[in-house]
Amino acid sequence: MKKFASFIGFLSCMAVAVLAQQEKIKITHGPYLHNVGENSATIVWTTNQPAVSWVEIAPNDGSHFYAKEREKFFDSPLGKKQITKLHRITVDSLSPATEYNFRVFSREVLKRGDNNQTFYGNVASTAVYKVEPLKFKTLDTSKKEVKFSVVNDIHADFKRLESLLKHSPKDSDFLVLNGDMVSQMESEDQIMKGFVDTLVDFTKSSMPLFYARGNHESRGNFSEEFINYFPTPTGKPYYTFRHGKVFFIVLDGGEDKPDSDIEYFGTANFDKYRSDQAKWLQSVVNSQEYKSAPVRIVITHIPPAWGSWHGSVDFKKKFATILNGADVDVILSGHLHKHEFYPASSSGFEAPNVVNSNTDIMNVSVNSEEIKIDFIGADGKPSHPSKIFKLNSGKQ
């Protein structure tokens, strides 16, 4: 019996040894920041091997990251740490308008046995000891001026995205992805190589991203994974956030054709989805947080003021009466692959609707007097005249 037990132990050790010979664990994509608020932030990255991961965080107060033990945040939604290749960790209990240092760790899981027995391998992490740690800043509702950039309809053309991002102002607070960053979602690799890796290089893992899902992100065999890679406070692709004087509503128009269209192969249920979203939107505009905001901006991929296709018609039917009574200052959209402008009250919506092309970056600044929108092409030159909307004096 002792010999048999020793033999079984030998086989277990050999199994672990064989597993240990697989490719060394490494961070393959990311990290990137999504779902940043005043008191929390979600950090996302991937590894080539399954791992238990965590984030360590410290205030950027001048002390070294190793000055003392730093709090660790794990992905453990049901009380158990997740073992996965996709790591989404939310750090919370943060202070508004505060800069934090952070680093991420992934400890490889080589093998799992009975009764939770777990065999671990190496650890992959971002650098911190000999280089500056990664940083981010929580949102600030007291900020006097808000600056952000918008790109849309990239369709995995990462070279074009790279050229446009060069013309985002250095002092932008965050970046908005206004839909159709891919033509359809087929795999993690496609998403990462199509645009996320470019965004990580541009943001240096330190600028928050806010994503408005487009109709093309609703397509493909990997499309159901969208919310796992781009988590939001609501757990849906529609959500809100507040920065400076601006209350942002990010809406999801869904698909543009009827649910029965052959292109969706019987998988679409967007009419019901938009109805549910409209109920949520009504609760948002009724909230004190919304009503007390000096400026309100709506971000949605398909222009509400455009189109006679079913998606646009259904959106207008379910959302127009809500938004028209909510004193929205401007609606930002994409989808058309060209620049368009729908003045206030011209197409069933009281707010003006600005549509960015797929060859421009839209740079937006908001202060106490106005919203200013500039359109810059890949060559760094203005492609269209700026749009300026005066605040507290009617819409322009």
Specify whether 235 is located in the same domain as 166.
Answer: yes
Specify whether 155 is located in the same domain as 123.
Answer: no
Please report whether residue 16 resides in a domain: no
Specify whether 106 is located in the same domain as 229.
Answer: no
Please report whether residue 1 resides in a domain: no
Specify whether 248 is located in the same domain as 324.
Answer: yes
Domains in the chain: how many in total?
Answer: 2
Specify whether 88 is located in the same domain as 212.
Answer: no
For 197-222, how does the pLDDT look when each residue is reduced to its tens digit (9 = 90+)?
A: 999 999 999 999 999 999 999 999 99
Q: Is the pLDDT of residue 258 over 80?
A: yes
Of 137, 161, 182, the residue that ends a domain is: 137
Q: Is the pLDDT of residue 5 over 60?
A: no
Say how many C-beta atoms besides its own lie within 10 A of residue 115's C-beta. 4
Domain extent at residue 278: 146-390
For the chain, strand residue ranges (E) read 27-34, 41-59, 71-74, 84-91, 99-112, 118-125, 134-137, 146-151, 174-177, 209-211, 239-243, 246-250, 295-299, 330-333, 340-342, 353-355, 360-366, 370-377, 382-390
Transcribe 275-291 into DSSP letters.
HHHHHHHHHHHTSHHHH
62: left (phi over 0), alpha (psi -120 to 50) or beta: left
Phi, psi of 62 (to 5 degrees): 95, -15
For range 278-293, the mean pLDDT: 98
Q: Is the pLDDT of residue 396 over 50?
A: no
Helix (H) or strand (E) holding 188: helix 188-191
Which one, of 359, 210, 384, lies nearest residue 297 by Cα?
Answer: 210
Specify whether 88 is located in the same domain as 204.
Answer: no
CA-based torsion, 284, 41, 85, 29: positive or negative: positive
Locate 287 and state its tokens: 């909230």
Specify whether 187 is located in the same domain as 327.
Answer: yes
**Can you tell me the distance from the alpha carbon of 5 to that of 268, in angstroms, rounded to the nearest whole number?**
56
**Coil, strand or helix: which one is 116?**
helix
Please report whether residue 9 resides in a domain: no
Specify whether 109 is located in the same domain as 172.
Answer: no
**Can you tell me the distance from the alpha carbon of 49 to that of 45, in angstroms, rounded to the nearest whole number?**
12
Which one, of 85, 102, 128, lies nearest residue 40 by Cα?
Answer: 102
Specify whether 133 is located in the same domain as 153.
Answer: no
**Can you tell me the distance from the alpha carbon of 352 to that of 326, in angstroms, rounded to the nearest whole number?**
13
Of 75, 104, 137, the residue that ends a domain is: 137
Specify whether 62 is located in the same domain as 156.
Answer: no
For 17-69, how does the pLDDT look when each residue is reduced to its tens digit (9 = 90+)?
A: 444 457 999 999 999 999 899 999 999 999 999 999 999 999 999 888 888 89
**Can you tell me the distance from the alpha carbon of 182 to that of 359, in angstroms, rounded to the nearest whole number?**
15
Which one, of 253, 255, 184, lies nearest residue 222 by Cα?
Answer: 184
Of 71, 103, 137, the residue that ends a domain is: 137
**Can you tell me the distance from the alpha carbon of 86 to that of 187, in angstroms, rounded to the nearest whole number?**
13
> Which residue type does 288 have?
Q
CATH number at residue 129: 2.60.40.10
**pLDDT attached to residue 392:** 73
Specify whether 225 is located in the same domain as 338.
Answer: yes
Please report whether residue 7 resides in a domain: no
Q: Determine whether 73 is exposed, middle or buried from the number of CB atoms within 10 Å of its CB (0-12, 13-18, 19+).
A: buried
CATH number at residue 282: 3.60.21.10
Weakest mean pLDDT among 3-17, 113-127, 236-250, 266-280: 3-17
Specify whether 72 is located in the same domain as 126.
Answer: yes
Look up the pTM and report it: 0.92
